[in-house]
Structure 1
Amino acid sequence: MKIKTAVLALLLVCGSTSALAAHDRGSLRPNSQRERIGLQTVSTQLAKINELATASQASANTRAKAQFNYAKFQNEILKLQKQVDDFLYRPLQPVPVSVLDNGGSQFQG
Structure 2
Amino acid sequence: MRFEMSDWVQGKAENGELIQGFIVAIYETEAVLKVHVVQSDNEAVVGKAVMMREQWLKDMPFMETEDAGQIADLIDLALATQDGAWFQELSARLKQGARKDAPSGGQVGHRAVRNRLDLPRYQ
Q: TM-score, normalised by structure 1?
A: 0.35
Larger of the two Rg values belongs to structure: 1
Query: Greater relative contact order: 1 or 2 (C-alpha under 8 angstroms, separation 6 or more)?
Result: 1
Q: Which has more helix, going by share of residues?
A: 1
Would you tell me which structure has more strand in proportion to its own residues?
2
